Amino acid sequence: RYVYLPTAPADEVRGSALAHVLRTFFGGSVSSAVAALLESKPLSRDEYDRLSRLLDEAVAAEEGGK
């Protein structure tokens, strides 16, 4: 019997895979990918609230870095 164990951290692999999907299917556009996800199925109110909070934090971080 064989046991397979990951050789790279999940966060690292997830980021690499997501970057590949963005380049391959969305021309590198994060907003296009997010729009496709939002249009694919309805979200719960909690999920919308979380996304809204994450977007607000990202905007604040961007404005703080200027």
Percent of the chain with pLDDT over 70: 98
Query: Which residues fall within 8 angstroms of residue 6, CB to CB, at 6 or more apart?
Result: 13
pLDDT of residue 6: 87
pLDDT of residue 25: 97
pLDDT of residue 57: 97
Average pLDDT over residues 1-6: 91
Model confidence pLDDT, tens digit, residues 14-37: 999 999 999 999 999 999 999 999
Residues 34, 39: Cα–Cα separation, whole Å: 9
Report the alpha-carbon angle 7-5-17, nearest 5. Answer: 50
Average pLDDT over residues 56-61: 96
